[in-house]
Amino acid sequence: MRQEHYDVAVIGGGSAGMAAAISLAQRGKSVVLFEREEVLGGILLQCIHNGFGLHHFKEELTGPEYAERVSKTLEELPVTVFVGSTVMHMEEAHAGEGKIVYAYSREHGIVMAEVRAVVLAMGCRERNRGNIGTPGTRPAGVYTAGLAQRLVNVEGYIPGKEVVIVGSGDIGLIMARRMTWVGAKVKAVVEIQPYPAGLTRNIVQCLNDFSIPLYLSHIVSEIHGKNRVEAVTITPMVDGMPDTQRSFRVDCDTVLLSVGLVPDNEVSKKLGVQLNPETNGALVDSRLMTNVPGVFACGNVLHVHDLVDFVTEESTRCGEYVAEYLDGVRPAAQHRVVAGSNVKYVLPNWYDRSHDNRFYLRPMVVKNRAELQVRLDGHVIKTKVLKHVQPSEMIALALDEKDLGDGAAQGDLRLEIAIV
């Protein structure tokens, strides 16, 4: 067993983990980063399309280009990196301060790192057929969209020739275009909601530009086939119920599932991290610390982001907060942040008057004109005009001490979306 000592262990080497590690190292902290894959970069490495980096780098990059830029910065800093190493367990240090992180790898065997703080940056995984309970047989040819993306972009395999995509998440939309480019026929994208789940630009560039039909308020009610997928049954939804009288069959040999992502929090739960039922990520305070002292969370393991630029921004701040925690800085009195009307969730889950606060929230409505209202003790203290809102696009909001007033009001902060 290899024993190591550091200030911080970062778990995950995708965009979130790298950004947090960079931020910490730049502030003089000793950092060890564990990544279960053989190289850093996470899911970005299989996202060969462009559209990354517009906010962070002020130019349009592919996923691998974005990952390369961040990893090069990391390489220039004194961060110890263990790739091909999976963190399986964490526990409290014997002295009562800090944590012990256990990682397993073929090259290094068991690495036991005793640290003063931990950053959770494991990302998320795809929901599968079992999560959505699609009836039918169990033939070959059913993939998650992310797996299909890896097969095509990294491994060089084409999963099938005639494709139906379940769900209109961004990965599914991008794979509709990608499968078309490699010569497959995408016959339908089927979405249970009455609105698309992906970004508007992906609807336009990946479906409309290729005349791929999008069936909103529909479900794939059955998968047919013995050895290989042969067809699916598509059923419209009326008032939340399947209208089986209007079902129709679409022949295909491949089904790709783009039905949402789940934060990868198995290790977090073992340590006693409390999860948010709305996001399946950790509940965090104004400085992104969980209920377990010294354990922080950022990126997609905290909540599913729509842009990697936002992941980098949030994780850089997380590194700053961890460094301050190690220096003995503790937040002043914190107060709850509540999701109000037309808002699914807001993160962080608490705010602190002693420093600037930045929030990300997920709307629940699709509207062309709306207003974000921030209420403190029932009074509107700030508004933000929104030209368009939809659940697939997060909203960012910054509040400083001036916005929060003189400190007389100490109640919950409520963020809600009003339709104007």
Same domain for 276 and 357? Answer: no
Domain edge (last residue) among 330, 356, 373 = 330
**Site of tokens 């004109």:** 369
**412 and 307 within one domain:** no
Indicate whether 268 and 237 sit together in one domain: no
Place of tokens 């047989």: 137
248-286 in b/e form (b: 16+ CB < 10 A) is eebebbbbbbbbbbbbbbebbeebebebbebbbbbbbbb
User: Binning pLDDT at 50, 70 and 90, where does residue 354 land?
Assistant: confident
* DSSP single-letter state for residue 275: B
What does the alpha-carbon distance between residue 303 and residue 283 come to, in Å, rounded to a whole number?
10
Q: 53-65: per-residue pLDDT in tens?
A: 999 999 999 999 9
Whole domain around residue 17: which residue ranges? Answer: 2-125+262-330
- Using the 3D structure, point to which of 204, 231, 259 is the last residue of a domain: 259
Handedness of CA 201, 202, 206, 207 (dihedral sign): negative
CA dist 341 and 329 (Å) reads: 34
Contact between 371 and 417 under an 8 Å Cβ cutoff? The reply is: yes
pLDDT in tens, 64-78: 999 999 999 999 999
The whole-number pLDDT of residue 140 equals 96
- Strand segments, DSSP code E, in 252-368 are 254-257, 261-263, 295-297, 334-339, 343-347, 350-352, 357-363
pLDDT at residue 96, rounded to an integer: 67
Q: Distance from first CA to last CA of the chain, Å, rounded?
A: 62
DSSP secondary structure letters along 54-69: TTTTSS-EEHHHHHHH
Asked whether residue 276 falls in the same domain as residue 191, the answer is no
Same domain, 157 and 252: yes
- Give the pTM: 0.93
Residues 155 and 81 in one domain: no
Give the range among 53-57, 219-223, 245-249, 376-380 with minimum mean pLDDT: 376-380
pLDDT at residue 409, rounded to an integer: 57
Same domain, 302 and 381: no
Query: Is residue 106 located within the same domain as residue 214?
Result: no
Query: Are 233 and 313 found together in one domain?
Result: no
Which helix (H) or strand (E) segment is 71 a member of?
Answer: helix 63-75
For residue 145, which phi and psi values (nearest 5 degrees)?
-65, -35
What is the distance between the alpha carbons of residues 381 and 383, in angstroms, rounded to a whole number? 7
- Bridge partners (DSSP) of residue 345 are 362
Quick one: pLDDT at residue 408? 54
Number of domain units in the chain: 3
Quick one: 347 and 320 in the same domain?
no
In CATH, what number is assigned to the domain containing residue 87? 3.50.50.60
* Peptide bond preceding 263 in cis form (omega within 30 of 0): no
**Nearest residue to 255 via CA among 279, 236, 229, 226:** 229
Please count the residues of the chain.
Answer: 420
Write the pLDDT tens digit of every residue in 135-180.
999 999 999 999 999 999 999 999 999 999 999 989 999 999 999 9
Residues in Cβ contact with 285 at an 8 Å cutoff, skipping those fewer than 6 apart:
331, 334, 348, 349, 350, 352
